[in-house]
């Protein structure tokens, strides 16, 4: 598909999404996100050479939230290899992303790196490897997106800190099993800043490009082996949209990762990456319009892993 055709597809999707009657509700459990209009919409596609097309508010920054878990996972795998999988699993959770019950059954080992408990383990490991997990992540995202102005939204980070009792409980519980190595307040500070990073659809589509390029960064250097890139894409497919991963795979057919800021990134291996943003969420924390838009994209283009 050439770019004029792709632009037409994106514009058609935007028109269809604009006519959707039900768009969900913004993440009201994070006060700093509760007031964002759930009807906002942007979508971007970045090919493996870094060319970007977009529609709607595709250049408007929003809170990336759990989408950032993809990048911390990649940075840890790049430096630490398969050792990480001794501390976090690779299986779908089947439970809410902040469940405590599952952790107790599984002796403090999170089911996968994309639920909150698993992401805390990954961030804790990145802190050990770099000494400053959130700043290391931000530097990576600035480099891969080509946007040096990316930064933390400290209001969002403070809002999450003030309402972060469940995440603190997860971290303390895992620490009791020896699966968290840094002081919990230090870990939570990095985790909440990580989630607060503001990026646009264009920024996120470009930053995720290394997964479409089988581990190669934007400058052509290698971050991950082909096998490691495949592993991240596989975990995104099975775990990237919490306990709705099966439905997402059924409808969209691409590895994807959502965030409660309303964003979703999706990877077309060998071709490019997508990011869609619409803040209205369903009951599982995924963007209603975002899933619908990606569903239409793979239907209209035939770009799917299946």
DSSP helix/strand/coil, 114: coil
Q: Are 213 and 221 in contact (CB under 8 A)?
A: no
pLDDT tens column, 198-222: 999 999 999 999 999 999 999 999 9
Is there a contact between 280 and 294 (Cβ–Cβ < 8 Å)?
no
3-state secondary structure of 300: helix
This prediction has a pTM of 0.95
Instruction: Say what the pLDDT of residue 287 is.
Output: 97
pLDDT at 121 over 90: yes
Give start and end residues of each alpha helix (H) in the chain.
Answer: 3-18, 31-34, 68-80, 101-105, 116-130, 133-145, 154-162, 165-176, 184-196, 201-207, 209-212, 226-239, 245-251, 288-301
Q: Which of 131, 100, 129 is nearest to 116 (CA)?
A: 100
Place of tokens 């209009």: 37
Q: Could you report the per-residue pLDDT of 239-271, keeping only the tens digit for each?
A: 999 889 999 999 999 999 999 999 999 999 999
pLDDT at 3: 55
Please tell me the distance from the alpha carbon of residue 164 to that of residue 59, in angstroms, as a whole number.
29
Beta bridge partners of 267: 273
Place of tokens 């768009």: 23
Confidence of residue 101 (pLDDT cuts 50, 70, 90): confident
pLDDT of 137: 98
pLDDT at 45 over 80: yes
pLDDT tens per residue, range 70-99: 999 999 999 999 999 999 999 998 776 777
Is residue 210 within 8 Å of 74, Cβ to Cβ? yes
User: In this predicted model, what pLDDT tens digit does every residue of 141-182 receive, in sequence order?
Assistant: 999 999 999 999 999 999 999 999 999 999 999 999 999 999
Q: Is the pLDDT of residue 4 over 60?
A: no
1 confidence band (pLDDT: 50, 70, 90): low
Q: What is the DSSP letter of 205?
A: H
Tell me what pLDDT residue 99 has.
74
Average pLDDT of the segment spanning 109-117? 95
């Amino acid at each position: 598909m050439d770019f004029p055709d792709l632009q037409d597809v994106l514009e058609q999707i935007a028109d269809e999404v604009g006519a959707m009657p039900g768009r969900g509700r913004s993440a009201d459990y994070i006060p700093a996100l509760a007031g964002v209009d759930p009807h906002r919409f942007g979508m971007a596609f970045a090919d493996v050479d870094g060319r970007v097309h977009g529609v709607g508010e595709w250049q408007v920054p929003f809170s990336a939230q759990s989408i950032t878990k993809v990048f911390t996972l990649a940075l840890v795998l790049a430096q630490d290899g398969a050792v990480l999988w001794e501390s976090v699993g690779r299986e779908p959770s089947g439970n809410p992303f902040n469940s405590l019950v599952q952790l107790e059954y599984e002796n403090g080992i999170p089911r996968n790196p994309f639920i909150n408990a698993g992401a805390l383990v990954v961030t804790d490991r990145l802190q050990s490897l770099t000494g400053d997990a959130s700043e290391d992540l931000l530097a990576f995202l600035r480099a891969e997106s080509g946007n040096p102005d990316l930064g933390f939204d400290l209001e969002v980070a403070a809002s999450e800190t003030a309402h972060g009792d469940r995440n603190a409980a997860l971290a303390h519980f895992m620490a009791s099993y020896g699966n968290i190595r840094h002081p919990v307040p230090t870990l939570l500070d990095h985790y909440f800043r990580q989630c607060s990073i503001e990026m646009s659809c264009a920024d996120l589509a470009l930053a995720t490009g290394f997964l479409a390029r089988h581990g190669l960064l934007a400058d052509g250097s290698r971050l991950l082996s082909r096998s490691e890139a495949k592993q991240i894409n596989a975990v995104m497919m099975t775990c990237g949209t919490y306990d709705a991963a099966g439905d997402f795979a059924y409808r969209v057919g691409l590895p994807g990762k959502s965030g409660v800021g309303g964003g979703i990134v999706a990877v077309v291996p060998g071709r490019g990456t997508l990011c869609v943003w619409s803040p209205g969420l369903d009951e599982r924390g995924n963007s209603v319009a975002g899933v619908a838009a990606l569903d239409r994209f793979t239907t209209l283009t035939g770009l799917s892993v299946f």
